[in-house]
Amino acid sequence: CPAPSALRTANGTRICAQLYADDSPYYNECCAGAVLVVDPNSDVPYMPRGWAARISSLVVGNRCELTVWSRAGKKGSSRRFGS
């Protein structure tokens, strides 16, 4: 997985988090497959098509916090992740 401080686009813009579709019990094989990028100050109450219940690993950038909910529309229980 990339280091939290390394989350940047190709042009150097900061990324707040990256969510990955594939995971593995082996650390060097984690953070694989399709990637969903979360920009700073994003507010997305619904997951993009095809991403619901698909994320298996994530990396949150420095000075960012990612809050996820168990149900769509910011309902259900929530959990916060930081770098």
- 19 within 8 A of 25, measured Cβ to Cβ: no
Using pLDDT thresholds of 50, 70 and 90, give the confidence band for residue 25.
confident
Q: What is the mean predicted confidence (pLDDT) over 31-50?
A: 90
Q: List the domain boundaries for the chain.
A: 17-82
Cα–Cα distance between 29 and 47 in angstroms, integer? 24
Taking CA atoms, 54 is separated from 8, 19, 34, 76, in Å, by 23, 9, 10, 17
Using pLDDT thresholds of 50, 70 and 90, give the confidence band for residue 18.
very high
